[in-house]
Amino acid sequence: MREGRQGRRVQWAIEAAFVELVRERGYANVTVADIAERADVGRTTFYRYYEGKAEVFLAVHAQRFERMGFAATTAEAWLSAEPSPALLAFVQMVGGQARFQSMFYQLGAEIDRIQREMQQQLVRHFEQALASAFGAQAFQTPLPVVASGVAGTFFGMMQPWAFGQSDPDAEVFARHLHRLMRAQVLTALGYDLRM
């Protein structure tokens, strides 16, 4: 147990150092050596926990997904005609953030891999939220397929939003996003959405 706690402390130090350095210098200008030095760990220790700085980026974002709680966790919230306050807050936070945009531009050759991994994180996040809200057996479509569709919609709509390429009204955007995800959930639950 002690090794587990010690390991987690090392990971926190590495992740905190990464976040500080990216804020100061931008992703492209941060190296593994910089992160290890700021975290006060050796490079060997860094590589015991992470393959490179992209894995630290992904770990930090996985934790943010969990903390933000933008995926509804109750059936009522998923089925509501309006987006949850958490989803609206997330949309407002991401919309038009220049720092967010510039960071993604700096990912360089790693951008495709990071985007794929982030989408997989979203799939897992939505799968847990949907299972919590409805139970895995409630769906007529396998839960991993439903979660993948919802995550794809979320990720596909959030990218243009984050880069300022969508309707600038956060409430309108959150409503559209929620309705598209809700339609997928309703269909997977067996509701007939034909008019």
**CATH code of the domain in which 39 resides:** 1.10.10.60
- 168 shares a domain with 82: yes
Domain span at residue 176 reads 69-189
Percent of the chain at pLDDT above 70? 87
Residue 180 lies in a domain: yes
Same domain, 80 and 13: no
How many independent structural domains does the chain possess? Answer: 2
In this structure, the answer to whether residues 150 and 112 fall within a common structural domain is yes
Average pLDDT over residues 92-111: 64
Sign of CA dihedral 50, 55, 57, 63: negative
In a domain, 181, yes or no: yes
Output the pLDDT for position 2.
45
Q: What is the pLDDT of residues 3-40, one digit of tens each?
A: 688 888 999 999 999 989 988 888 888 999 999 999 99
The string of pLDDT tens digits covering residues 73-88 is 899 999 999 999 988 8
Q: What is the pLDDT of residues 110-122, one digit of tens each?
A: 778 888 888 898 8
Same domain, 83 and 24: no
Considering the domain boundaries, does residue 20 fall inside one?
yes
Provide the pLDDT confidence category of residue 149 given band limits of 50, 70 and 90: very high
Backbone angles phi, psi at 184, to 5 degrees: -65, -40
| Residue 46 reports pLDDT greater than 70 | yes
Question: Is 64 a domain residue?
Answer: no
Residue 75 sits in the same domain as residue 43: no
